[in-house]
Amino acid sequence: MLDEDGLFRSSWSRRGAGDADSAGTGTAAEEKGWVYELHRCAGSGDDGGKNEGGKTADRVVGDVEVLDFLQSKSIVGIQDNYPFWRDHNHEPWSGKPVWVTSRGGRYDHHHVLLDDNIHNDPADGAGGIRVEGNDGSFRSLPGEEALGLHGRHLVRVPTVRAVMEDDWFIRQIEDARRRLLNDSLH
């Protein structure tokens, strides 16, 4: 069950010249120089901001740190940063990141974003697919390539249908997992 300890707000911040994080290596020209962050919602949690491993999690910065944090949790609620996405013309990279990691890597979660603003438009979408490179860094997929991952990592939510069908979200996640498994077998 999701409780206050698992609630975060997301943001994008300018990356300093000395930062070693892998963010900002994507294909979109505007993406360069930005790093993704999670911030614990004010007043949530009474554990001093520690995750299960005891690491402070009031602010989690960059692909690797965010993935390490998410890997330590079963469920997390993350509020997106709509003004940032809007100010970057709804480009997918500036929305909600969805990580696709290499098989056999240290991350084994299958990330799925379910959102009503997922479109078949390479320049307009709520989710930005972040893929892991051979060196462990991450980059955002260009829109055309990201469209190929719809149904696996990005699922459009028809709001009324999801409200009317109690198991709609569960079925979509099961379908996404099945598609991902079928891809790996072919």
The structural domains of the chain, with segments of one domain joined by +, span 4-185
Phi, psi of 55 (to 5 degrees): -80, 140
Highest mean pLDDT, choosing among 30-44, 123-137, 145-159: 145-159
Average pLDDT over residues 15-21: 54
Q: What does the DSSP 8-state code read for residue 167?
A: T
- Residue 89, exposed/middle/buried by CB under 10 A (0-12, 13-18, 19+)? exposed
Global pTM?
Answer: 0.78
Helix (H, G, I), strand (E, B) or coil at 143: helix
Q: How far is Cα 36 from Cα 65, in angstroms, rounded to an integer?
A: 10
DSSP SS3 for 109: coil
Please, which pLDDT band fits residue 18 given cuts at 50, 70 and 90?
A: very low
pLDDT (tens digit, 9 = 90+) per residue, 56-94? 468 999 999 999 898 888 888 899 999 999 999 999 999
Greater model confidence, 184 or 92 = 92
**pLDDT tens profile 141-152:** 988 898 989 999
Give Cβ neighbours of residue 21 (< 8 Å, ≥ 6 apart): 15, 35, 61, 62, 63, 64, 65
